[in-house]
Amino acid sequence: EGPIPGATPRDCGNYTFMDHQGARLIARKYLDEVLADPTDANFTYPAE
Contact predicate 15/7, CB 8 Å? yes
CA distances from 18 to 14, 25, 28, 30, 35 (A): 7, 13, 17, 18, 24
What per-residue confidence (pLDDT) applies to 45?
Answer: 86
What per-residue confidence (pLDDT) applies to 8?
Answer: 81
How do the pLDDT tens digits run along the chain, 48 residues long? 777 788 888 888 777 777 888 888 999 999 999 899 888 888 888 887
